[in-house]
Structure 1
Amino acid sequence: MNRDSTRMCVYVLWVHMTVWLYQKVKEKQRIMGKWGEAGVVGPPTGGYVTGSVSAAQLLSGGRFTVTIRPFFLFCQSKRGADRERTCFSYRAEQTSTVRRAVPLYDFWPVARHHGPGTLLHQRRRQQPENDIALQRMVSKWRVETELKVLDCRDASAGIPFKKRFTKMIPNGYLIFEDESFLDSTVAKMNALRKSGQFCDVRLQVCGHELMAHRAVLACCSPYLFEIFNSDIEPHGVSHVTFEDLDPEAVEILLNYAYTAQLKADKELVKEVYSAAKRFKMERVKQICGDYLLSKIDSQSAISFRNFASSMGDARVLAKVDAFIQDHLLEVSEQEDFLKLPRLKLEVMLEDHLTLPSNGKLYSKVLSWVQRSLWENGDHLDRLMEEVQTLYYSPDHKLVDGGLVIDGHSEVFGGEEDHLQFVQKKPVRESAQRQMSCSSSGSLSPSNQAANAPKQTGRREWKYIASEKTTNHTYLCLAVLDGVLCVIFLHGRSSPQTSPSATPCLMKSLSFEAQPEELEEQPLSPMHYARSGLGAVALNGRLIAAGGYNREECLRTVECYDPKEDRWTFIAPMRTPRARFQMAVLMGQLYVIGGSNGHSDELSCGEMYDPQADEWAQVPELRTNRCNAGVCSLNNKLYVVGGSDPCGQKGLKNCDAFDPVIKTWSNCASLNIRRHQAAVCELDGFMYVIGGAESWNCLNTVERYNPENNTWTLIAPMNVARRGAAVTFHAGKLFVIGGFDGSHALRCVEVYDPTRNEWRMLGSMTSSRSNAGVAMLGETIYAVGGFDGNEFLNTVEVYNPETNEWNDCTTSLAPLSD
């Protein structure tokens, strides 16, 4: 080969090499131009890259991590000019990080020729079929169409950047995704909402108007979607009113609907939760519930439990109850727990037995309470005012202790859980009634069904937690008929002998027997024990009417003659009633409202004529009223406060009866709801003392001025109480006994209106709640009531000289100021 031929061959080779190198450079430039200067290569579908590295840094070396969704993208670097394999990392969504060594220049042409779904391994241009794990990943990725690079960072840190790029697909379509568009659009829409522009819905929330866009709210709230969908004028402006939601909470939810951000102060979380429940925004409701659960402690457990119960959130309730089970003793020391209504049980058992400490015993107790409410017509609050005596037999049966003492042996109930119930037998009020009943026979099943109380909607009955506090005392938290209650249970030895039967309930065996021979003769007791009775002085005698004696609601009326120390019967009332008060007006006796013992509040009233010894009906109240106060003032009869039909809340109502025209009229309402308040007239004013707003006892006092029809709050009592009795003497008010929420009271207070102050007097010999009191001459008489263990038929009087109470006839003395 000559020199010219050699030159020609070299020239041709040089041209081919130059062309090849030029193609390589052009190929690299084309790829770099299309996928951006960040040095990131991936499937040609477009996207964006974020990180803190420049193209020069990427090509000069270093390790970078790329997180992608849902496709994969390689981020790699070249260390020097020798094209050594370098490590790169990538992570696909819902997969783990995988690291492989890949040459830089091996990847680009393969990615270009094979497109999406191609993955390189360590060996040059090796397909993923040789790697089973990578093959499975690729099989998942092949169905995706979008590429999003979420993160790209240099370990040595650099200037953050975000590079957007687009890719012209061969079929001619332009694909572009602007991630900031959604954020900016909703931000602008929220600004339009706040300025009221283009809004087509107005939310009226407790007087506040909030404007929004119907389409946005319909997408976020299924509740509002239903409202808008049923709108008669779908193209107009919708108006939706909420009177029981917090405006700030609704504004927070609107903000969330537009921005997907929930921001609420901790004090507003409950209100946001309540609003989210109404709007059926389950995600927000769950987030708020979880937040509240994270903040629960012993102090807030009861209030949070009540809130969750009102919301009907079973998931949150279960977690709150679990917390209470683990921290019952700490919870029981908190103020909210101490304010809960309480059911006190005294369980008699044999000396060799102990009460079970698990929840099985309380399940039996709950069943006993249900039976008492549904079949015997009791009220839950009445059960809680009395200490209920039960008997725990050696064969693990729970029966009514009072009836066991009285000799009743009839039991019924399932043997499956070893629980026995005793149907309470009514005690006849007189021999004549007993004879008439025995001659007529027992009630037929049809009559029994007709007289049975109607069962209302099903409420929650649930045992939550219990704890043994001492050797014989147990503490339990439970839900009784939808009311969160505390059950105190005390076990004691059963009696060795049973006392003789009497018309009234046997004295509690917790008290020691009194000596048979007493130096002083006790005041004669009533024929029947009575609690929730009406008592008043009439013509120098003490009248005691109606009331409960555990077994039944009475209609008998007894009259006490202090000169003879003797009780006699007068004409019975037309209707059995208890939890009422009575007053004397124009020489006649009036009884209004009350309860008939069958879960029914009464609106009827009666008037007693002492000359004819007979009762006559008077016009009924406009509403049924139980536990109301009654007082005569300026020749009118006033009925104040009382319980609502459910017996759970007090009333503010005040009604006046004119006996001349025989009509009722409305008066100014009380300042505070009250039931079981003591009511009395003094010096032309009417005083309403204590009572309870719902379950919590009050010490506040209100005075009514009939001239201007107004109520005024005056000095409060020293002791909060409900079910107290009141009378007046020498220009002062005497408030006697009552119930403070946990105990029947013996204490007595006197009010001096000239000084507007209360002071304590000597305590009674017995605790008495729902007792009767009357002034005979110069002596204050207290009669009947409930002492925390039994219904009372006893009488005691106040001695002003010694500032003491006594139940003996020798203690009778005029009352001096």
Structure 2
Amino acid sequence: MIPNGCLIFEDDSFLDSTVAKMNALRKSGQFCDVRLQVCGHELMAHRAVLACCSPYLFEIFNSDMEPHGVAHVKFEDLNPEAVEVLLNYAYTAQLKAEKELVRDVYSAARRLKMERVKQICGDYLLSKMDCQCAIPYRNFASRMGDGRLVSKIDGYIQEHLLEISEQDDFLKLPRLKLEVILEDNLNLPSNGKLYSKVIYWLQRCLWENGEPLERMMEEVQTLYYSADHKLHDGSQLEGQTEVFGNDDHIQFLQKKPLRENFQKQASTSSSGSLSPGSVTQLCKHEWKYIASEKTNNSTYLCLAVLNGVLSVIFLHGRGSPHSSPSSTPSLPKSMSFEGQLEEREERLRAPLHYARSGLGTAELDGRLVAAGGYNREECLRTVESYDPKTDRWTFIAPMRTPRARFQMAVLMGQLYVMGGSNGHSDELSCGETYNPHEDEWTPVPELRTNRCNAGVCSLKNKLFVVGGSDPCGQKGLKNCDAFDPVTKIWTSCAPLNIRRHQAAACELSGMMYIIGGAESWNCLNSVERYNPENDTWTLIAPMNVARRGAGVAVYQGRLFVAGGFDGSHALRCVEAYDPTRNEWKMLGSMTSARSNCGMAVLDGAVYAVGGFDGNDFLSSIETYEPQDDNWSPCMEACS
């Protein structure tokens, strides 16, 4: 067209042709005015192209006193193959690197300040994350100073610490062994608080006692947890032989005498406390609690960063054989108080027979059904049914296939489960349905796409399976498929607007909602609503909290979304969606954090079942009490 006498023409093939020719000129060394010397290898390029892609090189070229000569830039610490990958990217906008080279490409991109490439490489590493590479990836991200990448990897470690602890890289980490002696009637605090106290105690040791961390790791350290909830150096307990149990053997050790440095410090300081400012000045490296697991009633396993070094802490707690060295008074036991405790414990709702995370839950014939899921040992086939009238869990017929990371729905009076993981293959295509009259599970036609962590929902007498993980890893899917139980046929529906796995799915007022989840590793707060009349998905008001692996149920005309995982922590928080106002409102939080839990409405009450609290797999259940806007693990009579 020639509007107003001006010739306008757009050549769609020009840019592609030009960049291809420029890259060919680079590889042949023609018209090049930059020589990159990388560990003995010489790479030729054009100054203008690199200046556009690399702020680091732009600064170098901009300060060059001879802009018309050939610039020489030397790198002694980069991989030449990685730099060649970046040069190809600069000329073609295509980033191609073998899996083994990605970390080197990231390092080179970091040096050249190519932030977009850094992010792409970091996301790729996260997509390939597994228990075997978590520790090397975490060390790499820490060296690179990438807080975003470190945070995502730490979130993965928190969910998979036990599996990671079996890897060779974990076993080679520096180890600190602690025994904590408890004042009478005390229990160890929750893990986060416990290890915050441990890390602070270690910082004090390094500052007050001049004790090198490496030397402290050579022998078991004994601590004392007093009634005022503080950790003290166990050397303050006089001449008592203590016992420390670890995974290999039981060691006997003699209490160490009070250290000379500590005695000097005690004589010059009445408080014995360390100001936060002095810690900051003296401890320049990172101190951080990452994740922990309670391996039995008194032993904990923790992964932490101690003075900038990724380390393992083994902690064993036991009762004190004698009174507190600080003569802290302890509360005498009261028979009436004990009776109150026993009475309260009797009113706790009955727990599941098996701790379960990633389970399927639904209400069927006035009972709450909890199926499958996984614990530390395996994916489960077992299915339990809860009767609120008797407060009892009973087993019904097990599923044909062990499965976890799936959702369950009720369609035409029968339970349906689809996809998930069996613990051996990442994604399943098989499904099955439960007939309560026959107490039997039978197969249903397989999904056309293997998928795990998909949303499952019944709507308009059809079963919908939405999103999930693709067979290659953690990348979310947009797929939406519908199953007709009469024709036994799967059909495709409109895809989601956003890729999602570990999203919650639920039907409300003839519409289907898909809530949160994760696109790849980033947790989502966005929500989509499906209208079956015109086969369309519409984005609605987002949640207040981004979360994946949350539970969802419909209660009093609203969507209740509880728990889940925000990328760093298992969540306790709960929010509700009002479709008449298109808004989310925060509600009272659960008593336990629960990721990958189940939810259902039973006998007019919202139940949260099982899940993972960040440290333990849960068998407990709790219910929502709307009159008080709180959750309780107790029977109604207990409130």
TM-score normalised by the chain length of structure 1: 0.47
2:80 corresponds to 1:265: no
State the distance in 1 between where 2:485 and 2:383 align. Answer: 23
Q: Is the 8 A contact 2:621 2:633 kept in 1?
A: yes
State the distance in 2 between where 1:347 and 1:491 align. Answer: 16
Label 1:323 to 1:304 Cα distance change in 2 as closer, same or farther (>3 A).
Answer: farther
Residue of structure 1 aligned with 2:351, choices 525, 536, 539: 525
**Equivalent runs, 1:37-56 vs 2, <5 Å:** none
State the distance in 1 between where 2:139 and 2:395 align. Answer: 56
Label 1:487 to 1:531 Cα distance change in 2 as closer, same or farther (>3 A).
Answer: farther
Residue of structure 2 aligned with 1:680, choices 496, 506, 514: 506
Count residues in correspondence.
442
State the distance in 2 between where 1:487 and 1:537 align. Answer: 49
Q: Deviations over 1:364-409 (max 9, x none)?
A: 31779xxxxxxxxxxxxxxxxx99x99xx99999xxxxxxxxx997
Q: What is the deviation of 1:210? A: 1.9
Match of 2:170 in 1: 365
Match of 2:305 in 1: 475
Q: Secondary structure at the match of 2:169?
A: helix
Q: Is the 8 A contact 1:302 1:336 kept in 2?
A: no
Q: What runs of 5+ residues in structure 1 fail to find an aligned partner? A: 1-194, 196-201, 224-255, 282-287, 311-319, 349-359, 369-385, 398-406, 412-465, 478-485, 498-513
Q: Secondary structure at the match of 1:575?
A: coil
Q: Is the 8 A contact 2:434 2:440 kept in 1?
A: yes
2:318 corresponds to 1:496: yes
Residue of structure 1 aligned with 2:389, choices 554, 563, 569: 563
Label 1:757 to 1:309 Cα distance change in 2 as closer, same or farther (>3 A).
Answer: closer
Match of 2:239 in 1: none
2:615 corresponds to 1:789: yes
**Equivalent runs, 1:199-348 vs 2, <5 Å:** 208-210=15-17, 220-221=26-27, 262=49, 264-266=51-53, 273-275=88-90, 296=113, 303=119, 306=122, 328=145, 331-332=146-147, 335=148, 337-340=150-153, 342-344=155-157
Label 1:495 to 1:301 Cα distance change in 2 as closer, same or farther (>3 A).
Answer: farther
Q: Is the 8 A contact 2:155 2:569 kept in 1?
A: no
Match of 1:228 in 2: none
State the distance in 2 between where 1:343 and 1:212 align. Answer: 40
Label 1:609 to 1:323 Cα distance change in 2 as closer, same or farther (>3 A).
Answer: closer
Residue of structure 2 aligned with 1:730, choices 544, 552, 556: 556
State the distance in 1 between where 2:532 and 2:160 align. Answer: 50
Q: Secondary structure at the match of 2:575?
A: strand
2:366 corresponds to 1:546: no
Match of 1:776 in 2: 602
Label 1:490 to 1:809 Cα distance change in 2 as closer, same or farther (>3 A).
Answer: farther
Percent identity between matched residues is 54
Q: Is the 8 A contact 2:50 2:90 kept in 1?
A: no
State the distance in 2 between where 1:366 and 1:489 align. Answer: 10
Q: Which amino acid aligns with 1:494?
A: H
Q: Is the 8 A contact 2:505 2:515 kept in 1?
A: yes
Q: CA RMSD in A?
A: 4.9
Match of 1:671 in 2: 497
Q: Deviations over 1:550-586 (max 9, x none)?
A: 1011000000000000000000000000000010000
State the distance in 2 between where 1:280 and 1:772 align. Answer: 41
Q: What runs of 5+ residues in structure 2 fail to find an aligned partner? A: 1-8, 30-43, 58-84, 97-104, 127-136, 174-190, 196-215, 221-244, 250-284, 291-301, 320-337
Q: Secondary structure at the match of 2:615?
A: coil
Q: What is the deviation of 1:729? A: 1.7
State the distance in 2 between where 1:488 and 1:679 align. Answer: 38
Q: Is the 8 A contact 1:345 1:489 kept in 2?
A: no
Label 1:267 to 1:296 Cα distance change in 2 as closer, same or farther (>3 A).
Answer: closer
Label 1:707 to 1:811 Cα distance change in 2 as closer, same or farther (>3 A).
Answer: farther
State the distance in 2 between where 1:799 and 1:278 align. Answer: 56
Label 1:516 to 1:394 Cα distance change in 2 as closer, same or farther (>3 A).
Answer: farther
Q: What is the deviation of 1:777? A: 2.0
Match of 1:616 in 2: 442
Label 1:469 to 1:220 Cα distance change in 2 as closer, same or farther (>3 A).
Answer: closer
State the distance in 1 between where 2:524 and 2:20 align. Answer: 49
Match of 1:64 in 2: none
Match of 2:458 in 1: 632
Q: Which amino acid aligns with 2:89?
A: S
Q: What is the deviation of 1:263? A: 5.8
State the distance in 2 between where 1:732 and 1:560 align. Answer: 24
Q: Which amino acid aligns with 1:274?
A: Y
State the structure with more CA Rg: 1
Label 1:722 to 1:812 Cα distance change in 2 as closer, same or farther (>3 A).
Answer: farther
Q: Is the 8 A contact 2:49 2:91 kept in 1?
A: no
2:551 corresponds to 1:745: no
Residue of structure 1 aligned with 2:534, choices 685, 701, 708: 708
State the distance in 1 between where 2:288 and 2:425 align. Answer: 34
Q: Secondary structure at the match of 2:380?
A: coil
Q: Is the 8 A contact 1:677 1:689 kept in 2?
A: yes
Q: Is the 8 A contact 1:344 1:489 kept in 2?
A: no
State the distance in 1 between where 2:447 and 2:592 align. Answer: 35
Q: Which amino acid aligns with 1:787?
A: D
TM-score normalised by the chain length of structure 2: 0.59
Q: What is the deviation of 1:274? A: 1.4
Q: Secondary structure at the match of 2:318?
A: coil
Q: Which amino acid aligns with 2:383?
A: V
State the distance in 1 between where 2:167 and 2:532 align. Answer: 51
State the distance in 1 between where 2:528 and 2:160 align. Answer: 41
Label 1:367 to 1:612 Cα distance change in 2 as closer, same or farther (>3 A).
Answer: farther
**Equivalent runs, 1:13-412 vs 2, <5 Å:** 208-210=15-17, 220-221=26-27, 262=49, 264-266=51-53, 273-275=88-90, 296=113, 303=119, 306=122, 328=145, 331-332=146-147, 335=148, 337-340=150-153, 342-344=155-157, 364-365=169-170
